[in-house]
Amino acid sequence: MALPICVTIIIICSYFLICNDGVEAFHSIYPGLQSISVRSVNKLHRTAYHFQPRRNWINDPNGPMYYNGVYHLFYQYNPKGAVWGNIIWGHAVSKDLINWKELEPALYPSNPFDKYGCWSGSATVLPGKGPVILYTGVIDKHSNEVQLYAIPENKSDPFLRKWVKPKAFNPIIKPERAMNASVFRDPTTAWWSTDGHWRILIGGSRKNRGMAYLYRSKDFLKWIRVKHPIHSAASTGTWECPDFYPVSLKGKNGLDISSVGNSVKHVLKNSLDKTRYEYYTIGTYFRNKDKYIPDNTSEDGWGGLRYDYGNFYASKSFFDPSKNRRVVWAWANESDSKEDDVKKGWAGIQAIPRTVWLDSQGRQLLQWPVEELNSLREKEVNLSNQKLKKGDYVKVKGITAAQADVEISFSFSSLEKAEAFDSRWVNPENVCAEKGSKNEGGIGPFGLLTLASEKLEEFTPVFFRIFKASNNHVILMCSDATSSSLKTELYKPSFAGFVDVDLSIHKKLSLRTLIDHSVVESFGVGGKTNILSRVYPTLAIKKKAHLFVFNNGTEHITVENLRAWSMKSARRN
Ligand SMILES: *[C@@H]1O[C@H](CO)[C@@H](O)[C@H](O)[C@H]1NC(C)=O
Ligand SMILES: *[C@@H]1O[C@H](CO)[C@@H](O)[C@H](O)[C@H]1NC(C)=O
Ligand SMILES: *[C@@H]1O[C@H](CO)[C@@H](O)[C@H](O)[C@H]1NC(C)=O
Ligand SMILES: *[C@@H]1O[C@H](CO)[C@@H](O)[C@H](O)[C@H]1NC(C)=O
Ligand SMILES: *[C@@H]1O[C@H](CO)[C@@H](O)[C@H](O)[C@H]1NC(C)=O
Ligand SMILES: *[C@H]1O[C@@H](CO)[C@H](O)[C@@H](O)[C@@H]1NC(C)=O
């Protein structure tokens, strides 16, 4: 369960003098807004192929799974309004992860243990027995939490529409007295070990130390906490939505959750409530010790590896046995204000589901939109061998630039003109904010101008910029919202990440960007560094949106190949 950040309390309270209603828990922060429903939703910036429900607020993806030929996506949902609150589990099903059918909610408060909310959780498909959902129930106004389970009422129903919460064993896990019960949530999918036990993780913290509690069970009903957490890290605050899964050292195939073997590593991902970003480590899972230890190449904290350096949170993965892949889902929140959300009648989308696998060097994960997305590609335009001098920008004509998929590769002949890298630049976002696309460089900035108005009053550039450090080159990838909209009162971050690539052999960089009205979702260098931005152009909308390639560095850049497609809208229902 991901909660809206606390600092907004102050802002919202000053707008609506209604916060001192005696509710102290930090999630009850928009009591005056959370149940305002609108008659008709504003379609202007709605997405055409990124999943969102018909109206209202959504956040975390929950319980993704593939069962009997159907993909299920559940999600945190406010059925009454467009800000967080009244949380239940929405439910949608799909045959291809792209076109969805929205169903009735799967879980909603129905007993004393989830009276104040059905928060995030996961699904496990038990061999021969079918799916089980584990989720967090909120028992009171102080957000004290327990874990519950639910099973399908009828396993033969192809869509698993109805879920029941058996009384006999629920809640299956309660916090112990020494634990902080208000930060004890988001059970993972369970894995099975040859000692005959199922195991799950639950996120939490002790003081400021983030941790993933480990529980085991023989029968999936009676759960016992293992004495130590599987892993914890100082100063990281509460770990939300932990995700723990095996990845293969050999190739792109995903692994089922319980896989073991010599060529298996593990990934632990946590969503940090403190920063509202996630990070992951790659490491070794010592089964007999119930311990996970990150590799020394994975930083274990704020500055660690991220799936995505933009609006991307509370992610959750699942193994898809039909295509032998692991797929990760995540929530991308809005960058406009709560008042805007109430007016437009909706807030929150899901990022495009991504296949995730381990890079051949074993140091990071790679991600790529699921291949089914390509079925939405229609009209294609392409460009090759286009030279870009400093200050050039070239329009990509002939596609619906507000709803598009673009793949592009760039090359250049020398690294000589790279600007000097300042070793104090630890946070790529600061470098992106300082250097931007408007600040001319040596090699780059070069890339795409997405959601651009004809005269470039508005645009969201996605670009690379190359620097020379003392003994290597540093590649910065930015998705900069600074000029994305003429509307001023928006969150316009200069999202950025460094890209781990060796340019000494091939001086080439590639980029794929999915553009969807208020989404610019980019995959740098085959999915090494990825950034999802939410933007709200006022001029660059629908047919008035344009796409350009540009170069603002002195080194000449060649667009080796560009392929861009208009995208069809995904079917909903
Ligand atoms: C369960 O679902 C199947 C398939 O939809 C249906 O034929 C059957 O009648 C259902 N059983 C009950 C008890 O509702
Ligand atoms: C429990 O966690 C909440 C939320 O982070 C925090 O406000 C509270 O101080 C914690 N309580 C204790 C006893 O640590
Ligand atoms: C990291 O661990 C590997 C073995 O897993 C070891 O060879 C290497 O020296 C370690 N590096 C550092 C910086 O500790
Ligand atoms: C370029 O686009 C045209 C149609 O616009 C298409 O026929 C052709 O196959 C494309 N070429 C490549 C290399 O993709
Ligand atoms: C390129 O640099 C020029 C000069 O600084 C600036 O006016 C222009 O906006 C830049 N282009 C982009 C796409 O940022
Ligand atoms: C998404 O919205 C922005 C702007 O309000 C906040 O700064 C982010 O913290 C928030 N992200 C999450 C995960 O809540």
Report the nearest-CA residue for atom 10 of ligand 4. Answer: 382
Closest by CA to 479, choosing from 529, 526, 443, 440, is: 529
Structure confidence at residue 35 (pLDDT): 79
Closest by CA to 520, choosing from 31, 44, 77, 47, is: 47
Task: Say if CB 209 and CB 233 are below 8 A apart.
Answer: yes
Report the nearest-CA residue for atom 9 of ligand 5. Answer: 438
Structure confidence at residue 29 (pLDDT): 62
Structure confidence at residue 34 (pLDDT): 80
CA angle 185, 141, 117 (to 5 degrees): 50
Task: Say if CB 263 and CB 248 are below 8 A apart.
Answer: yes
Structure confidence at residue 74 (pLDDT): 98
- The secondary element (H helix, E strand) that includes residue 12 is helix 8-15
- pLDDT mean over 288-295: 97
Report the nearest-CA residue for atom 1 of ligand 2. Answer: 180
- Predicted TM-score (pTM) of the model is 0.94
CA angle 239, 217, 280 (to 5 degrees): 25
pLDDT tens per residue across span 461-473: 999 999 999 999 9
Task: Say if CB 186 and CB 3 are below 8 A apart.
Answer: no
**Which residues does ligand 6 sit against, CB inside 6 Å?**
2, 4-5, 276, 311, 313, 333, 335, 491
* Centroid of chain to Cα 105: 22
Biggest alpha carbon–alpha carbon distance for the chain:
71
Residue type present at position 211? M
Residue 179 phi/psi, 5° resolution? -95, 155
Residue 553 pLDDT exceeds 60? yes
> Over pLDDT 70: what percentage of the chain?
95
pLDDT class of 211 with cuts at 50, 70, 90: very high
pLDDT tens per residue across span 388-435: 999 999 999 999 999 999 999 999 999 999 999 999 999 999 999 999
Structure confidence at residue 2 (pLDDT): 57
CA distance 70 to 318: 13
CA distance 266 to 230: 12
Structure confidence at residue 36 (pLDDT): 78
DSSP letter string, 220-276 = SSS-EE-SS-SEEETT--PEEEEEEEEEESSSS-B--TT--STTEEEEEEEEETTTT
What letter would DSSP give residue 224? E
- Using most ligand atoms within 8 A of CB, pick from 182, 209, 235, 273 the residue to mutate for ligand 2: 182
User: Is 219 a residue of the active site?
Assistant: no
pLDDT tens per residue across span 474-519: 999 999 999 999 999 999 999 999 999 999 888 999 999 999 999 9
Structure confidence at residue 368 (pLDDT): 98
Q: Is the CB of 335 under 6 A from ligand 2?
A: no
Place of tokens 């030279």: 387
CA angle 237, 242, 245 (to 5 degrees): 145
Tokens representing 564 are: 């861009």
Q: Which residues make Cβ contacts (< 8 Å) with residue 488, sequence separation at least 6?
A: none
Residue 24 pLDDT exceeds 90? no
Which of 60, 243, 308, 480 is labelled catalytic? 60
Q: Which residue has the higher pLDDT, 40 or 312?
A: 312
- Arithmetic mean of pLDDT over the chain: 94
Task: Say if CB 148 and CB 132 are below 8 A apart.
Answer: no
Place of tokens 């560094």: 529
Task: Say if CB 89 and CB 97 are below 8 A apart.
Answer: no
CA distance 380 to 510: 18
Tokens representing 277 are: 């970003």
C-alpha 365 – ligand 3 centre gap (Å): 19
* Alpha carbon distance, N-terminus to C-terminus of the chain: 27
- pLDDT mean over 155-180: 97
CA distance 440 to 470: 22
Domains in the chain, ordered, with CATH? 73-369 (2.115.10.20), 377-567 (2.60.120.560)
- Using most ligand atoms within 8 A of CB, pick from 1, 27, 335 the residue to mutate for ligand 6: 335
Report the nearest-CA residue for atom 7 of ligand 4. Answer: 380
